[in-house]
Structure 1
Amino acid sequence: MKKVLISLLIFMMAMSMVNAQQTRYLVFEFFKVESNQTYDFIEHIEFMEKIYKAAINDKKIQGWDFWSLQSGADPSEFQYITITYFGDPVSMMNGLQEDDLVKYGMISYPHMTEKEVLDKLNNASTSMDLAQRSYMQEIASTRDNFQFKRGTLASFDLMKAVEGKFQEYEKAEKEVFMPIHQNRIEKGLMGHWSLLRTALPFGSEAKSTHLTMNIYKDYLQFFNAQEYEDMESTEEQRAAQEKGLKSRDQKWVYLATLENAVR
């Protein structure tokens, strides 16, 4: 009996470690770029791609995306979104410090001195304005093997759970809506879906509490998904969907195209 309990304990600890390793933490950064600074900004992004690749190789981060906004926001607010992926909340909050960027910059560009890399990083601030930064934890996602490539389309849906219905909203996303997205993926109408919970900011004044990432391989798949109607859903399922919709307020929907993904 004692051996069985020990084996069970080891199994539970192993499963806990696996789940912890699967949890991802994402930092969204929304950039505003003036039209006359677009070239300089894109040049900076291209410079940073190699730096993020070096950070991935050093296991400092898990990945990095660069998205251009297609619709959903006033162009005067921001036009680009970057997402940096981390494996734990502490790494997410620490982020990549200036020393890290310089170190990885010198690895990526061995012909540059420390001062040259630092000057390159500092000069980039003149070509862009960080309009907003959001720290998020992935709490649910579909089962798929979708590969993020240039041209991938995403709908970033920012939600705010109705006060007093935080748990109800998350339950609805996981138990009602995620199976719907999984079914669409299996029918070839979607690439990937995930639910993110906002880590910061907290409080009732926060503009959003959650975000869903709806990923499509291209516009054709996106529009086919919009026209799809599930005729097989039961009256009970439709009632559950309606109840779930009432547990949150959809604040904004941003449609964006992936310009580059570093993994």
Structure 2
Amino acid sequence: MKKLSIFLFMGIMAISMAKAQEPTYLVFEFIKVESNQTYDFIEFKDFMEKIYMAAVNDKKIKGWDFWALQSGADPTEFQYITITYFDNPVNMMTGLQDEDMVKYAMVAYPHLTEKQVVEKFNAAISSRDLAQRAYMQEIARTRDSFHLKKGSLASFDMMKAVEGKFQEYEKAEKEVFLKIHQNRIEKGLMGSWSLLRTALPFGSEAKYTHLTMNMYKDYLQFFNAQEYEDMESTAEQRAAAEKGIQAREQKYIYLATLENAVR
């Protein structure tokens, strides 16, 4: 009986670890909204939250976030970032089709007719402009128990690996910077960190090849992290970090606060 219990426990642990290591695929949408249409768009965003929840419950997607940009871009370029999470690259590329959105809207709002749902979607399309879209795969992340909630803060750092140093850059992120961020998390200076690799667009003309997501529970944690200096690092570790920095260009940094999160 004791051996059986041990085998069962080990089996459960193996399943849990396998799930934890499952890759996540993300679609970022950078959205521009004209000032005279902000209210209509925010109202539509709240309407969409329940629709994405229906999609999560149906296992069509893993989650959806809505972020309001605080700094890092010209306000005329875009003001909002949405992230949709998928469990495989095929679902990421096909995304939620129009018929999917209508189906989940009917589930979330059974009192609405299909015609009313379509009218809402058409009105929303006219109130926003999709400035850009990026397809990405998570390739490394910290060990943490951070849970997003309204008001959470994120720094989205867009990186471009120097030509010929793609593998060198990724190695530095995984072997050097991940440990640095893990140390900050354990000191209570950060919520979570992950490294994403761009799936599309790609090639030498791509504006960026990677993105790091730095999550904080609030502004206090964020500013404390900025002031923190790691006095425990060795000269070898600092040299490795510097080598990693030389292998990439930091193209853009966007600071945003979370307004909605569906899981």
Q: What's the TM-score, normalizing by structure 2?
A: 0.93
The residue type paired with residue 33 of structure 1 is V
Query: Could you say which residue in structure 2 is the equivalent of 1:206?
Result: 206
Q: What SS does the aligned partner of 2:172 have?
A: helix
Q: What SS does the aligned partner of 2:139 have?
A: strand
Query: Could you say which residue in structure 2 is the equivalent of 1:247?
Result: 247
Distance 1:21-1:178 versus aligned 2 partners, 3 A rule: closer
Q: Report whether the alignment pairs 1:168 with 2:168.
A: yes
The residue type paired with residue 35 of structure 1 is S
Identical counterparts, % of pairs: 78
In 1: Cα distance, 2:106 partner to 2:235 partner? 60
In 2: Cα distance, 1:190 partner to 1:21 partner? 21
In 1: Cα distance, 2:116 partner to 2:166 partner? 48
* Pairwise CA RMSD: 1.4
Q: Report whether the alignment pairs 1:32 with 2:18.
A: no
Q: What SS does the aligned partner of 1:22 have?
A: coil
Equivalent residues in 2 for 1:51-130 (5 A)?
A: 51-130=51-130
The residue type paired with residue 76 of structure 1 is T
Q: What's the TM-score, normalizing by structure 1?
A: 0.93
Gaps of 5+ in 2: 1-10
Task: Report the CA distance between 1:225 and its aligned residue.
Answer: 0.3
Query: Could you say which residue in structure 2 is the equivalent of 1:221?
Result: 221
In 1: Cα distance, 2:237 partner to 2:18 partner? 32
Q: What SS does the aligned partner of 1:123 have?
A: helix
Query: Could you say which residue in structure 1 is the equivalent of 2:236?
Result: 236
Query: Could you say which residue in structure 2 is the equivalent of 1:3?
Result: none
In 2: Cα distance, 1:188 partner to 1:93 partner? 36
In 2: Cα distance, 1:152 partner to 1:21 partner? 24
Q: What SS does the aligned partner of 2:149 have?
A: coil
Task: Report the CA distance between 1:118 and its aligned residue.
Answer: 1.1
The residue type paired with residue 224 of structure 2 is N
Q: What SS does the aligned partner of 1:198 have?
A: strand
Query: Could you say which residue in structure 1 is the equivalent of 2:187?
Result: 187
Task: Report the CA distance between 1:86 and its aligned residue.
Answer: 0.3
Gaps of 5+ in 1: 1-10
The residue type paired with residue 199 of structure 2 is A
Q: What SS does the aligned partner of 2:103 have?
A: helix
The residue type paired with residue 204 of structure 1 is S
Query: Once superposed, which parts of structure 1, at least 4 consecutive aligned residues long, lie more than 3 Å away?
Result: none
Once the two structures are superposed, residues 12-56 of structure 1 have per-residue CA deviations (whole angstroms, 9 ceiling, x without a partner) of: xx88x9279621000000000111100000011011000000000
The residue type paired with residue 147 of structure 2 is Q
In 2: Cα distance, 1:115 partner to 1:18 partner? 43
In 1: Cα distance, 2:20 partner to 2:204 partner? 28
In 1: Cα distance, 2:227 partner to 2:180 partner? 14
The residue type paired with residue 118 of structure 2 is L
Once the two structures are superposed, residues 80-101 of structure 1 have per-residue CA deviations (whole angstroms, 9 ceiling, x without a partner) of: 0000000000000010000000
The residue type paired with residue 22 of structure 1 is E
Is contact 1:134-1:200 (8 Å) kept?
Answer: yes
The residue type paired with residue 105 of structure 1 is A
**Matched residues, number:** 250
In 2: Cα distance, 1:36 partner to 1:22 partner? 42
